[in-house]
Amino acid sequence: MTDENNTAQTDLDSQATQTPVEVTKLTRLLAQVNAALIGQEAVVKQVLLALLSNGHVLLEGVPGLGKTLLVRALAKSFAGDFKRIQFTPDLMPSDVTGHVVFDMQNQSFEMKQGPVFTNLLLADEINRAPAKSQAALLEVMQEKQVTTEGQSRPVPLPFMVLATQNPLEQEGTYPLPEAELDRFLIKVVINFPDLENEIKLTQLVTQGQVGDTNAIESIKPELSAQDLLEVQQKVADIAIDEQIIDYAVRVVRATRQHPSIYRGAGSRACIALVRIAKANAFLSGRDYVLPDDVKSMAVAVLQHRIALTPDVEIEGLTAAQILKQLLAEIQAPRH
């Protein structure tokens, strides 16, 4: 081996040893969840990035694509508390947040905590419940606390809501209010797997090796709650150049002026885009953000925060398609 090759190999070895332990654990976490949810690697990565960004996720897809399985697999790979709420038309806000009851034995009022007092909350089929019940999550998603009878009670940290919803054209669904949509860091649309992965999935399921219960049995926790809090802080501390912040803000502001969009994204979208771009850089093993980190996450951050004009919807175009056109028109910083 020549000296040049030796130097190159030494550089590679040096890069390998400099990889943070957290990134190695997160890579293993990704591999475990991907093994449970076949053919949805991009979806799994986006959900993990939202977790690292201390944000919430809205998962949309028709029934049977593994939305709930994904959340259960993520919960098992993260050694925190996990609770689930099945949203139904008769769900009451107190079923979500909890309520105060009078204890006859102690002659005092006592708080019965709802399922939101956890680290990872699955709000399953959130748009099956009416707006009043959906709004029960507004305060806790933004403030990380629940206020009942004039008293505010913090939820455990880290805290993340993963809400699944069926497409609005499904019978018995209610659209989420704009204020709640804006509190989700990203919206991830789960589509059918490609032919190769669907064949693989079918083979494994029919051979009894994978199922809704079997798929996550082998998953081992990679992070504790404290580990995750530390990683979230490291993500927040990642450096980002002013030019890249300027690019992120220009992308968001462009949604307010695009002829195909009648309601653009607000300032919260700028913050979300920068936060998840930092997470993408961290997961890539970098301590700085590139324009591609912003560009790669822009659709997921913005698609639920905009509303298309009626004529565009009639043409059958989606928010993701319009946003991709918009991104192609905005020049990213080159240095």
CATH number at residue 103: 3.40.50.300
The whole-angstrom separation of Cα 188 and Cα 327 is 18
Does residue 157 sit in the same domain as residue 47?
Answer: yes
The C-alpha angle 47, 295, 45, rounded to 5 degrees, equals 20
Does residue 276 sit in the same domain as residue 303?
Answer: yes
- Domain range enclosing 285: 238-335
Does residue 208 sit in the same domain as residue 116?
Answer: yes
The reported pLDDT for the residue numbered 1 is 45
Does residue 229 sit in the same domain as residue 289?
Answer: no
pTM given for the model: 0.85
The reported pLDDT for the residue numbered 14 is 40
Within the chain, which residues score under 50 in pLDDT? 1-18, 210-211
Is 269 contained in some domain? yes
Report the amino acid identity of residue 62: V
Does residue 78 sit in the same domain as residue 195?
Answer: yes
Are 66 and 212 in contact by the 8 Å Cβ rule? The answer is: no
The reported pLDDT for the residue numbered 4 is 45
The reported pLDDT for the residue numbered 205 is 67
Does residue 72 sit in the same domain as residue 122?
Answer: yes
Does residue 300 sit in the same domain as residue 327?
Answer: yes
Does residue 194 sit in the same domain as residue 257?
Answer: no
Is 2 contained in some domain? no
CATH number, position 290:
1.10.8.80
The reported pLDDT for the residue numbered 334 is 81
The reported pLDDT for the residue numbered 196 is 84
The reported pLDDT for the residue numbered 12 is 36
* Dihedrals phi, psi of 7, to nearest 5 degrees: -65, -45
* Domains contained in the chain, number: 2
Is 319 contained in some domain? yes
